[in-house]
Amino acid sequence: MADIILKTKNLNKTYTGKIDTPVLFDINLEIIKGSFTALIGPSGSGKSTLLNCLGLLDPQSSGEIVFDGKSIGSQNVNELADFRNANIGFIFQFHYLLPEFTAYENILMPCWIRSGKPAPDIEKEALRIMDRIGVLKLKDKYTSEISGGQQQRISIARALINKPKLIFADEPTGNLDRESGSAVLDLMAELNHENNITMVMVTHDREAALRADFIYELVDGRICKFLDVKKEGKAGVAKAIDERGCRI
């Protein structure tokens, strides 16, 4: 039986205000440990909202999130922040690197937040990661001095530094040209397989989604389709996407 690292039980999300706006409806999904899962769907379907809820950046309105066997939800804001820092990495469409710090310093930032000045072994690990993903030569560069693809690689290294159990990526190639985007997806897939890091990615890119092991499609805030890429094959999944009206 597959080891489940993350699952939801009837998760709902409504943004409240002058007019309440329901966004997610009874979401039930399971993320297998070590897998690469894609969340797809048309614009406005709730993909990023779901990712934010799963990543504990935005609280669900009702329902349950279970992370590695532990129900999440009763913790206060500070406890959730500590939990995220220790267990979850994030990669966004816009890298959110701090321009006043070097690439190396940006990678170490989660460690500074977690426990202050990083220990020598952590600093060594940052250099190892930079070397692994091909950006060691950028160690002392600032964001204004490196390309978009290189900046995204730095953000991936930052996501890896605390050795998270799960990485969430929200449109990680959306701000890159096709060649740079493909290189970033290659790197994510390699890290997923080499280090058994669980990855969940929101994407509007059909080809990017087909790199995943599993695909969930959202339409109007509901999961309407689950596809097992390994079981059905990329050709079969691509056909299912095209023939059953799943547009991304």
Q: What's residue 3's pLDDT?
A: 92
DSSP for the chain, written as a single string: -PPEEEEEEEEEEEE-SSS-EEEEEEE--EEETT-EEEEE-STTSSHHHHHHHHTTSS--SEEEEEETTEEESSS-HHHHHHHHHHHEEEEESS----TTSBHHHHHHHHHHHHHSSPPHHHHHHHHHHHHHTT-GGGTT-BGGGS-HHHHHHHHHHHHHTT--SEEEEESTTTTS-HHHHHHHHHHHHHHHHHH--EEEEE-S-HHHHTTSSEEEEEETTEEEEEEEHHHHHHHHHHHHHHHTT---
Determine whether 24 is exposed, middle or buried from the number of CB atoms within 10 Å of its CB (0-12, 13-18, 19+).
Answer: buried
The answer to whether 135 and 150 have CB atoms below 8 angstroms apart is yes
What is the arithmetic mean of pLDDT over 170-178? 80
Q: What's this model's pTM, rounded to 2 decimal places? A: 0.86
What would the mean pLDDT of 39-60 be, rounded to a whole number? 91
The answer, yes or no, to whether residue 247 has pLDDT greater than 70, is no
Find out whether 4 and 33 touch, Cβ atoms under 8 Å.
yes
Q: Cα angle at 156 between 154 and 162, to 5 degrees? A: 105
For residue 110, which of 87, 138, 136 has the smallest C-alpha distance? 87
Bridge partners of residue 67, in order along the sequence: 6, 70
pLDDT of residue 248: 44
Domain that holds residue 35: 4-243
Mean pLDDT of 92-104: 87
52 CB neighbour count, 10 Å cutoff? 18
Q: Would you state the pLDDT for residue 149? A: 85
* Domains identified in the chain, total number: 1
Q: Does some domain include residue 221?
A: yes
Residue 65 to residue 2: CA distance in whole angstroms: 18
HSE toward the beta carbon, residue 116, CA cutoff 13 A:
0
pLDDT at 140: 95
Whether 151 is covered by a domain: the verdict is yes
Residue 162 domain flag? yes
Domain of residue 165, CATH code? 3.40.50.300
Q: Is residue 248 part of a domain?
A: no
- What percent of the chain clears pLDDT 70, i.e. is strictly above it? 95
* pLDDT at residue number 14: 96
The answer to the question of residue 18 being in a domain is yes
Arithmetic mean of pLDDT, 160-164: 86
- Per-residue pLDDT for 131 more than 80? yes
Mean pLDDT of the chain: 87
Per residue in 132-145, pLDDT (tens digit) is 888 899 999 998 89
- C-alpha 86/C-alpha 123 separation (Å) is 17
